Amino acid sequence: MQGLLKLSSLIDGLNERVGRGMIWLVLIVVVISAGNAVFRFAFNMSSNALLEIQWYLFSAIFLLSAGYVLKRNEHIRIDVLFGRYSERTQNWIDVFGFIAFLLPMGILVGYLSWFVFTLAWTSGEMSSNAGGLIRWPVRLMMPVGFVLLVLQGLSELVKRLAFLQGIARNPLIKEAAPSAEQELAEAIKKHQVAPEVVSYVEANHEMVEDQAKQGERK
């Protein structure tokens, strides 16, 4: 079990680093979206490539962060009875859920989505939109995302079994840590990129308001 706990720690570290990287993608999506809106309203210019890169990045954020969210125990639970049980019962429920549902589903979806990626890779699949992007990068995100989720599922399974054996803390107790939004805000302040982002967002907001006023006059 000690060896498995070390492996669990390595998986946790991997998903922690990936998750922190995905937090920065949120900022990049905001900048691209705001910049695209500014050019569209100010200069009547837009780009399908910029629109599609936003969809790609959204896909990356949700798929590649799944393991990170599971590590932090932040996935939504339909908690009708779960909270009424003892800590040991709660962990046994999670053990059953990981073995019966999460791991088989993650392995199956990851396996099947790999063939979708390889087909897009070998065929050179492109977007049907004019000026759109090649498709294989976004197809690759699904198998990679589910591999990270399955790895984290294995890590969580190990931690719950270790708790049930009395050699580890309860993994269902959430650690006191800043939220993703707080981490991003601190990172922005640290790297001093907030003024540029704020100017993009404010310009976008002003453009939308001007368009709305013109529509009311018409």
d(CA 117, CA 147): 14
| Domain of residue 139, residue span | 2-217
H or E segment at 198?
helix 194-217
> In the prediction, which pLDDT does 217 show?
52
pTM: 0.77
Q: Is the pLDDT of residue 114 over 50?
A: yes
Kindly report, residue by residue over 47-85, the tens digit of the pLDDT: 778 888 888 999 999 999 999 999 988 877 766 777 787
Q: What values do phi and psi take at 189, rounded to 5?
A: -60, -40
Mean pLDDT, rounded, of the chain: 82
Percent of the chain with pLDDT over 90: 42
H or E segment at 141?
helix 136-164
Domains contained in the chain, number: 1
* Residues 172, 91 contacting (CB under 8 angstroms): yes
* Residues 168, 3 contacting (CB under 8 angstroms): no
The identity of residue 195, as a single letter, is P
Mean pLDDT along residues 74-100: 84
Mean pLDDT along residues 143-149: 96
